[in-house]
Amino acid sequence: MSEQVVLAVDLGGSSMKGALVTEHGETLVTETRLTPEIDIVEALIELLHSLEATASVRGLQVIAAGVVTPGIVDEQAGVVRYASNLGWKDLPLLHLLRARLDMPVAIGHDVRAAGLAEQLLGAARGADDFVLIPIGTGVAAALVSAGGTLTGATGAAGEFGHIPVVPGGELCTCGQRGCLEVYVSGAGLARRYQARGGEALSSKQIVARLGADPHADVVWAEAVQVLAQGLAILTLLLDPRVIVIGGGFAHAGEALFGPLRDALTAGLAWREAPRVVQALLGSEAGRIGASILAFRAAGRGDVVDGWTVAEAVAV
């Protein structure tokens, strides 16, 4: 009998990352394309068909497909309510994909799917209550409580980047003031560094200057402090066992995690801080989550139990 695989796609504003993933959690093939400005659904279906054709050539049996997207995703209804960087509003994505793919299909939210992947085989393995916070250009979060990912009444839960943490603070691109990601994101860090008279640097370059550049030290210290405040809020509201930080920020390593843990502990007077750790699956987490959703859609959600990180992220 031929090996069974699923099609998994992490659809983002700039690229569509696709893969074939086996029931053993092995990523056999990846195929990444730029996300077009228009006809995104058509381009997505082309990518899925291309992956399907690759599977056929290799003699693999495709049993399901999973696609995760940013925005406000209603998994139950199969509708992307709103995705600003895809230009989608109330798009019945599940229906559109089912009409063109002869297999079970699942859609999901990219960060919540990444949280699922970190929970089942990554840094939050075994935790029923945890938070995954990918910090890149912007900030998102997957909030998991008692084993379930919080979606909210309209699929909009987890907007950690836009919680107002500094009353009357700096203006965010979203139109609100004092949002966490004004201070903590890659974009926010670069903008605040430049506003102090620094050059146009990436957050990675700013981190590289810590200890040698007072402007870098200040904006980084403020980012850590605001992030610690945000983690204190999450801790007091949700009481997670572990907080997993992903995205580019997490690559700062101990320059981030050392002072962040100290600031979180200092901010919590009467309760212990949860563990704060780096994500394990990196930028693959969303795609791996999509493959898990696909296996679930095929009634094979149990296969994930035997997966390992090394196989999941390897090609």
Q: Which residues are near a second copy by CB under 8 A?
A: 127-129, 141, 143, 145-146, 148, 150-160, 162-167, 174-176, 225-226, 229, 232-234, 236-241, 267-271, 274
CB 238 to a second copy: min, Å:
6
CB atoms within 10 A of CB 278: 17
Task: State the amino acid at position 64 in one-letter form.
Answer: A
Q: Round to whole Å and give the CA distance between 101 and 119.
A: 29
Q: Give 148 or 211: the residue with its C-beta nearer to a second copy.
A: 148
Instruction: Tell me which H or E stretch contains 100.
Output: helix 93-100
Q: Round to whole Å and give the CA distance between 121 and 125.
A: 5
Classify 105 in phi/psi space as left (phi over 0), alpha (psi -120 to 50) or beta.
beta
CB 234 to a second copy: min, Å:
8
Q: Give 23 or 75: the residue with its C-beta nearer to a second copy.
A: 75
Q: Give 221 or 310: the residue with its C-beta nearer to a second copy.
A: 221
CB 155 to a second copy: min, Å:
7
Length of the chain: 315
CB 229 to a second copy: min, Å:
5
Angle between helices 254-267 and 214-238 (to 10 degrees): 50
Q: Give 150 or 187: the residue with its C-beta nearer to a second copy.
A: 150
- The secondary structure of residue 122, as a DSSP letter, is S
Q: Give 8 or 263: the residue with its C-beta nearer to a second copy.
A: 263
Q: Give 109 or 296: the residue with its C-beta nearer to a second copy.
A: 109
Are 62 and 52 in contact by the 8 Å Cβ rule? The answer is yes
CB 182 to a second copy: min, Å:
13
CB 163 to a second copy: min, Å:
5
Strands 130-134 and 27-34: unpaired
Q: Give 6 or 135: the residue with its C-beta nearer to a second copy.
A: 135
3-state secondary structure 31-92: EEEECCCCCHHHHHHHHHHHHHHHHHHCCCEEEEEEEEECCEEECCCCEEEEECCCCEEEEC
CB 276 to a second copy: min, Å:
14
For 108, residues 6+ apart whose C-beta sits below 8 A from its C-beta are: 66, 67, 68, 69, 73, 75, 116, 289, 290, 293
CB 277 to a second copy: min, Å:
14
Task: State the amino acid at position 196 in one-letter form.
Answer: R
